[in-house]
Amino acid sequence: MDNRTLAGCFEQIADLLELKGENVFKIRAYRSAAETIGAWADPVGALDDLALRAVPGIGKDLAAKIRELASTGRCAYHEELLAEFPVTLLEVLKLQGVGPKTAALLFRALGIATVDALAAAARAGQLRELKGIGPKKEALILKAIDERRLDQGRHLLAETATLAAELIAHLQQQAPAVTFVPVGSLRRGSETCGDLDILAVGGDATLMDTFVAHPRVERVLAHGDTKSSVRLQGGYQADLRLVPPASRGAAMQYFTGSKAHNIALRDRALRLGLTLNEYGLTRLDDGTTVAGETEEGLYEALGLAWVPPELREDRGELEAAAGQSLPALVSFGSLRGDLHMHTTASDGRDTIEAMAAAAQARGYAYIAITDHSKALAMANGLDERRALEHAARVRALNGRYEGLTLLAGIECDILEDGRLDLDDECLAALDFVVASVHSRFNQEPRQMTDRLLRAMACPWVDAIGHPTGRLLLRRDAYTFALDEVAAAAGRHGVALEINSQVDRLDLNDVHARAARTHGVRFLVSSDAHSTAALGNVQWGVQVARRAWLDDDAILNTRPLDAFRAALRRHRPAPVSRGASE
């Protein structure tokens, strides 16, 4: 039994225990075991009892269940729980805003066990009759059902990148001399990808046989000598194209897209008496090829600087490339610190020490430990007293990790009226505060805007975390006046976060670029809940690049002293603009 299956079983047990209303510590134990097993490099099912017990978070009880699953393929406890609740109810539980209490109530009171049944009952107005639901929540449930459409057919960037790496490693092994390049929306770093496009340069048609024979292939959609398409398990489509080395640059350019960028580029070529396709750039009059081997040469022949793939969206990049005014995009190695991470003090999986050691190994000069505040009770958020004790523990570690400074921070909840979850005295005593919305996402736009403005009026708020609250493919951003909030952030010197969690990427590229015009500076943060998740900043940097941002726009590219000096709490107070805000 592979780790993924084992982890999936524990994840379901945790969900079922939530439906039952079981103790939160027990639920958390199953959830964190599922995460650990899912990320474990070796097959956990093959470990003996002693080795299992050495896996963090696996005690006697969980070890026994892993052994049972590995040897019999079943888990009696899991089956017992499934006898109480149908497995389809877990789909209901996945809807935004439907917590375990509601799901269990819907099942017990109305026999609702599927999302379809829930939609029908909500449309018929049956939910509002239930105690604790009412018309407002009924409408929210319908909205959540509607938002599932967001999931249709697209995949997270990080997942697509992992899959591409796996496929390319497989192909590369069979054809060591061939160059493989992931192209399409993946190369442009789009937040989601519709399918996976791989370009192979040099090599012969046998490559296509290797491709369609990959163990993950479920169905072959097309199998030609230079082009094949397959459907993979999990619903991905992948395309492989093969071109000769002389067309490498032209093919990379063509298949990277975007379609809109390509169309604009081809128009430019035509105006210059040239024609552009995936094989090269040729003169219309005599058919001679003027470029195609490299992308740089191709853009140059069109009078343009090479355009980084992230900018190829027809959002002004060709004008900038023609005027030699493309931005010097922030690079993946530019980050010197990470200002959003959680530890075992709230809902993280690793200790302060483990996070610090991992950050040091990444070469960071500084990190802020930002556990949750008390309003997030599910995450075991900290109250004032615990926050200050935790801060003391964080600061006591300074000096222990050479080259790394630990800042004592907090991710403080923004309450529904814009007040902060912890008092000013506590926030002032910390080194860094990121304030975030984690509740009441459905407020009216005006109310949400005022809520964020009021939070930023607190002088101890240094940054706003995941500013729009969206979850990719699952939940829309809450609605508010981003321009107004960005303008206030620019004025106060409050940084806006580009959260790097693979399903957040919040702010997104378009919003961050718009916010920059208000003078906003940003933090690219991991929001890591484990040491492994620190690496997610690569996706945040990708977003920042798509937002046209350079190093200067990202505060955590600065050395520690300059970073600290740029924090809102250390800036001179802004000139008063009257009594508003």
Q: Which is nearer to Ca ion, 226 or 289 (CB)?
A: 226
**DSSP SS3 for 454:** helix
Rg (CA), the chain: 26
Nearer to ligand DGT, 190 or 380 (CB): 190
Q: Is the CB of 253 or the CB of 373 nearer to Zn ion?
A: 373
Q: Which of 436, 500, 526, 530 binds Zn ion (CB under 5 A)?
A: 436
Does 193 bind ligand DGT (CB under 6 A)? Our answer is yes
Q: Quick check: 522 binds ligand DGT (CB under 6 A)?
A: no
Closest distance of CB 243 from ligand DGT, Å: 13
Q: What is the DSSP letter of 420?
A: B
CA distance 196 to 487: 38
| Pattern 206-245, Ca ion, x by CB under 5 A | ---------------------------------x------
3-state secondary structure 20-84: HCCCHHHHHHHHHHHHHHHHCCCCHHHCCHHHHHCCCCCCHHHHHHHHHHHHHCCCHHHHHHHHH
Phi, psi of 237 (to 5 degrees): -105, 140
Query: Sign (positive/negative) of CA torsion 530, 534, 539, 541?
Result: positive
182 near ligand DGT (CB under 6 A): no
SS (H, E, C) 357-394: HHHHHCCCCEEEEEEEECCCHHHCCECHHHHHHHHHHH
Give the residue with the Cβ less far from Ca ion, 229 or 343. Answer: 229
Of 100, 182, 184, 467, which one interacts with ligand DGT (CB under 6 A)?
Answer: 184
- Chain residue at closest Cβ approach to ligand DGT: 257
Neighbours of 494 (CB within 10 A): 28
Minimum gap (Å) between residue 375 Cβ and Zn ion: 11
- Which of ligand DGT, Zn ion, Ca ion, none interacts with 258 (beta carbon under 5 to 8 A by kind)? ligand DGT
Among 100, 182, 184, 540, binds Ca ion (CB under 5 A): 184
Euclidean distance between CA atoms 153 and 450, whole angstroms: 36
| DSSP letter assigned to residue 308 | P
Task: Choose the contact partner of 18 out of ligand DGT, Ca ion, Zn ion, none; CB within 5 to 8 A by kind.
Answer: none
DSSP 8-state symbol, 15:
H
Residue 374 has phi, psi (to 5 degrees) of -60, -25
Q: Which stretch binds Ca ion (CB under 5 A): 184-192, 261-269, 273-281, 487-495?
A: 184-192
Residue 549: CB atoms within 10 A of its CB come to 26
Residue closer to ligand DGT (CB basis): 282 or 373: 282
Name the closest residue to Zn ion (Cβ): 436
CB-wise, 196 or 427, nearer to Zn ion?
427
Is 258 a binding residue for ligand DGT by CB under 6 A? The answer is yes
Quick check: 194 binds ligand DGT (CB under 6 A)? yes
CB neighbour class for 499 (10 Å; exposed up to 12, middle 13-18, buried from 19)? buried
Region near ligand DGT per CB under 6 A, out of 113-121, 128-136, 217-225, 257-265: 257-265
Least distance in angstroms from the C-beta of 190 to Ca ion: 9
Which of 253, 262, 525, 542 binds ligand DGT (CB under 6 A)? It is 262
The alpha carbon dihedral of 482, 488, 491, 494 has a sign of negative
Write the Ramachandran bin of 493: left for phi over 0, alpha for psi from -120 to 50, otherwise beta: left
| Residue 263 binds to ligand DGT (criterion: CB under 6 A) | yes
Nearer to Zn ion, 138 or 421 (CB): 421
Closest distance to Zn ion from the beta carbon of 376 (Å): 8
Is residue 255 a contact residue for ligand DGT (CB under 6 A)?
yes
How long is the chain? 581
Cis check: omega of the bond before 258, within 30 degrees of 0: yes
Interaction between residue 249 and ligand DGT (CB under 6 A): no
236/441 with CB nearer Ca ion: 236
Classified as helix, coil or strand, 428 is helix
Which residue in 558, 479, 484, 555 sits closest to 518, CA to CA?
484
> Pairing state of beta strands 227-232 and 237-243?
antiparallel
Minimum separation from the CB atom of position 188 to Ca ion (A): 9
Distance, CA of 247 to CA of 235 (rounded, Å): 31
Strand order in the sheet with 227-232: 179-183, 196-201, 237-243, 227-232, 217-223
Amino acid identity at 362: R
Does residue 138 bind Ca ion (CB under 5 A)? no
Q: Which stretch binds Ca ion (CB under 5 A): 195-203, 365-373, 497-505, 519-527?
A: 195-203
Choose from ligand DGT, Zn ion, Ca ion, none: what does 436 bind? Cβ within 5-8 Å by kind.
Zn ion
For residues 303 and 301, what is the distance between their CA atoms, to the nearest angstrom? Answer: 5
Residue pair 241/199 in contact (Cβ under 8 Å)? The answer is yes
Query: Could you say whether residue 197 binds Ca ion (CB under 5 A)?
Result: yes
User: In the complex with Zn ion, which residue's Cβ is closer, 232 or 414?
Assistant: 414
Instruction: Note whether 462 binds ligand DGT by CB under 6 A.
Output: no
The entry of Ca ion, ligand DGT, Zn ion, none that residue 385 binds, CB within 5 to 8 Å by partner kind: none
Which x/- pattern, by CB under 6 A, does the window 94-133 give for ligand DGT?
A: ----------------------------------------
By CB under 5 A, residue 526 contacts Zn ion: no
Residue 195 in the binding site for ligand DGT (CB under 6 A) = yes
Q: At closest approach, how far in Å is the CB of 291 from ligand DGT?
A: 17
List residues binding ligand DGT (CB under 6 A): 184-185, 190, 193-195, 197, 254-255, 257-259, 262-263
- Which residues contact Ca ion (rule: CB under 5 A)? 184-185, 195, 197, 239
Residues that bind Zn ion (CB under 5 A): 436
